[in-house]
A = this chain, B = another copy of it.
């Protein structure tokens, strides 16, 4: 049954040498004779020896695991980030632990505690929507665990950050709508306490101002899911002076808008234009295909993981780094040609 694991001592006994010699031979220590090295490595292979990383970590006070906390897993942007993290970590010999905060502060708290217990080498985190206290992240730093925030960053904690260029992305999107002739652009946004909401909102507002369009409060709505959009949009279309374009904070919301507009018998983009924010396959499945701002989650993940691993390895980038990953406007069928 429980076949005991092969240890360095087993090899030592087998060869009638000491464990320390085996240890050295296994890692090609220069002091050890070629003969012994060969002997040991052969024996290790024969006995199917696998070094015990837990023992090694304990001895060396190190750890080759990093943790990623995501608000959601089934989510184009966040899963792209995880993909990027896994990619870099794998190449660098790190393992990735995955945690989902479920947008819950409580859960985030439990997660950060278990990360401290597990003595992971580093943490990549994006705040849950609920989170407005940050001691648990400070505690991570206090325990000498490296920390990098991505996307939903934490302003209160001094550490590295990787964000998407929300402001410029939104600005570019809204300018595109303006350039294609839209005058009254509605904005569907998440609750404004989130940094990304603020930034995208500012991009929207500044684009309007830059092009001398009036900012109208009644064209800005808190609405960030498909379901909400399907319910809200008919009402918006029934306004006295309805918008001629919609800018949505994510593509799910945009698909809801598209659906409602078609239901109302209006044409996209002839009558009304739509622009989303996210990227991914959802935009391609729409008819017409959705114009959207691609966020390059994969890049965000890779950048954040590199930053984190550099910090773990002690490669300093200056005191603390702020990386911005550029967005890209993907012009497709839900906006008009110039």
Contact = CB atoms under 8 A, between A and B. Distances in A.
A83 interface: yes
A86 B78 CA distance: 15
Nearest to A116: B50
Nearest to A98: B98
A5 interface: yes
Interface in A43-95: 48, 50-55, 57-58, 63, 65, 73-76, 79-80, 82-83, 86-87, 90, 95
Contacts of A315: none
Contact of A58 (B54, B98, B287): B54
Nearest to A57: B54
B73 A76 contact: no
A287 B287 contact: yes
12 contacts: A48-B142, A54-B63, A55-B58, A73-B82, A86-B100, A87-B100, A90-B99, A95-B114, A97-B98, A252-B281, A258-B287, A282-B285
A53 B285 contact: no
Interface residues of A, number: 55
Number of copies of chain A assembled together: 2
Contact of A97 (B51, B83, B97): B97
A interface SS class: helix
A2 interface: yes
A118 interface: yes
A272 to B, nearest CB: 15
A144 B73 contact: no
Interface string A277-290: 00011101111000
B86 A73 contact: yes
Contacts of A235: none
A3 interface: yes
Given A100-B83, A262-B287, A285-B285, A119 B73 contact: no
B73 A117 contact: no
Interface in A99-121: 99-100, 113-114, 116-119
A5 B259 CA distance: 56
Nearest to A85: B98
Contacts of A286: 285-287
